[in-house]
Structure 1
Amino acid sequence: MTTLKALVVDDASFVRDLVKRTVRQRFPVIETTDAQNGRRAQSLMSRTTFDLVLCDWEMPEMSGLELLQWMRQQPHYQKVPFIMITSRGDKDHVVEAVKEGVSEYLGKPFSPEGLSKKIIKVMGRRLKEAMDGSGKSMDGPADAFRESADLLTQKREVAPPKPAASAPNPAADNPLLAAGRQGGSAGRSAQKASMTVASVRFSDSTLKSVVKDVNLTEVRVIAKRDQVFPGILDQAVVDIDTGEGQMARLNGYVHQLQAVDKRQDTDFVSVTIRFVDEDPKKMEDLSRFVARFRAAAR
């Protein structure tokens, strides 16, 4: 049986594990090795030839773009597929990666289906032949464990409580203003954090929310319940304005979902995102944000 080799590069072990698990479940003919940054990946690639590289952009010591630049200068790696998996999805970064020879670009957070499609696209006939040779189908069914996990962690749209008859509310689409007018503990908390609106991105939805608390390990946000909520352990990217027009994109996963009030018809849900990045630059950006948030909350 033909075995292909893939190198997974990301400074967050949680993301590396997600990628490796997806590859292992969908493509059993691909053997995975991982590295925590571009420098380590470069060392591994100098000793072993890989058939596919799946790499983050922002990493300490050597970024994904620098690894891609080095890789395309090596004769035996000039045509090896390179998939950039990153939270940097703006046009300028995509264009820059394409110029340097990236094969495909996948935004974080990603779904297993999205990653699988990218791998099939860049590996093409070589992957199909390897799968056929092993007796496996490219569209084979998911294993029972993954199906069970999907049932436990699937995203759901929480039905809002029936609204009481009232005059139109111009702040209805603003979770912060709505929380402030709602009264109670949720309203006071959101009103106090009125300058800290957060955007939390998941693989197929974005949660509009306000920051309730944040530290170097996790962030807790409050969102109106009439949105699509993620599942426990779902990947997340938290976009944080660090000031002066700079945006930090912090990778994490859903650690906790909890009703804000102790009643079934609560209007707000608390979501805790646990950070997974190990990039010193991101930690520096996060530290500045935490200090600014705590100063504003006094």
Structure 2
Amino acid sequence: MATLKALVVDDASFVRDLVKRTVRQRFPVIETTDAQNGRRAQSLMSRTTFDLVLCDWEMPEMSGLELLQWMRQQPHYEKVPFIMITSRGDKDHVVEAVKEGVSEYLGKPFSPEGLSKKIIKVMGRKLQDSMSRSGKSMDGPADAFKESAALLTQKREAPPAKPESPAQPAAGDNPLMAAARSNQAPASSKPSGRAPMSVAQVRFSDSTLKSVVKDINLTEVRVIAKRDQVFPGILDQAVVDMEIGNDKTARLNGYVHQLQAVDRRQDSDFVSVTVRFVDDDPQKMEDLSRFIATFRAGNR
């Protein structure tokens, strides 16, 4: 029987489900409730007392930081653990969250193990005692379905790269553009006469894929990357970083929908990765629309 309560807050239902599933499998003594934004979470927290809050940063109506600020002003929530789960991992944002009283900071995409460690760290003895009273192990019961699915979706390391001369950055290139040049798709896969593809960085829980955008719309993006990198598994979480000008980067949350060789042969040097977006944040949709407009204008 669950003895502790956790609130999961994220505008993406896909992410909320991942967090709840991890908590349910690893810590059966924790009952989870979810909210799609900070405003809804605030309403729930006013009616029910939670022992843990796991929250995204960027959400419509009320952000995770605003929820944290409100929460620390409430006497009964002043000491309750708050884990910020977000794709915003730069130092300035981490420092800002720490100043407002965040308990822990977990970057997206995250692994179940990474999330579990953060929960154990912030809840400490309270969680351990609850698990012990229920006769449960901290590792949680084995999940046969999960183990079977892992065999189908496990990450596979790419074979060693073929020897080649390192790409030389052109004048004015930033490091990401230089990396993209060395990882660009073969000429046969790009329409003749079009401008170079836009750069995208796709982050996973334990690796980063440097790639170029082949196609994009409001629901998904297809990127092409060299095979000599570490690739994710199907359904793995992903964060797609795309430059949209004025030193601003759009960060879109999603999951891997498809992996496919660019060429119809076993030794294809390039792999196509399709990531489906899961965000429901108007600001992120606006950033995505700006990137799509720039991408299409440059490839006419």
Question: TM-score, normalized by length of structure 1?
Answer: 0.93
Please provide the CA RMSD for this pair.
1.9
Distance 2:257 2:92 in 1: 32
1:38 aligns with 2:35: no
Q: Is the 8 A contact 2:239 2:254 kept in 1?
A: yes
Map Cα deviations across residues 230-268 of structure 1 (whole Å, 9 max, x no partner): 000000000011111111111000011011111111110
Give aligned-pair identity as a percent: 81
Distance 2:193 2:128 in 1: 55
1:197 aligns with 2:194: no
| Structure 2 partner of 1:170 | 167
- Label 1:52 to 1:159 Cα distance change in 2 as closer, same or farther (>3 A): same
Q: Show structure 2 runs of 5+ residues with no match.
A: 170-177
Q: Which amino acid aligns with 2:218?
A: L
The farther-off stretch of 149-158 and 256-265 is 149-158
| Structure 2 partner of 1:284 | 286
1:227 aligns with 2:224: no
TM superposition shift of 1:147 = 1.3
Equivalent residue pairs, number: 292
- Label 1:45 to 1:264 Cα distance change in 2 as closer, same or farther (>3 A): same
Q: Show structure 1 runs of 5+ residues with no match.
A: none
Which of 251, 256, 269 aligns to 1:254? It is: 256
Distance 2:75 2:212 in 1: 50
SS in 1 for 2:80: coil
TM superposition shift of 1:139 = 2.7
1:5 aligns with 2:5: yes
| Structure 1 partner of 2:28 | 28
Q: Is the 8 A contact 1:10 1:16 kept in 2?
A: yes
Distance 2:57 2:183 in 1: 37
Map Cα deviations across residues 154-213 of structure 1 (whole Å, 9 max, x no partner): 1111225766xxx73536984545646x442x2x35994525111000000000100001
Q: Which amino acid aligns with 2:165?
A: P
Q: Which amino acid aligns with 2:7?
A: L
| Structure 1 partner of 2:69 | 69
Distance 1:189 1:251 in 2: 28
| Structure 1 partner of 2:174 | none
Which of 267, 273, 276 aligns to 1:274? It is: 276
Q: Which amino acid aligns with 2:295?
A: F
TM superposition shift of 1:142 = 2.9
Q: Is the 8 A contact 1:189 1:212 kept in 2?
A: no
SS in 1 for 2:205: coil
Distance 2:183 2:215 in 1: 19
Q: Is the 8 A contact 1:193 1:210 kept in 2?
A: no
1:96 aligns with 2:75: no
SS in 2 for 1:243: coil
Map Cα deviations across residues 115-163 of structure 1 (whole Å, 9 max, x no partner): 0000000000000011001111113453212211222211111225766
Distance 1:262 1:66 in 2: 50
- Label 1:206 to 1:290 Cα distance change in 2 as closer, same or farther (>3 A): same
Map Cα deviations across residues 39-73 of structure 1 (whole Å, 9 max, x no partner): 00000000000000000000000000000000000
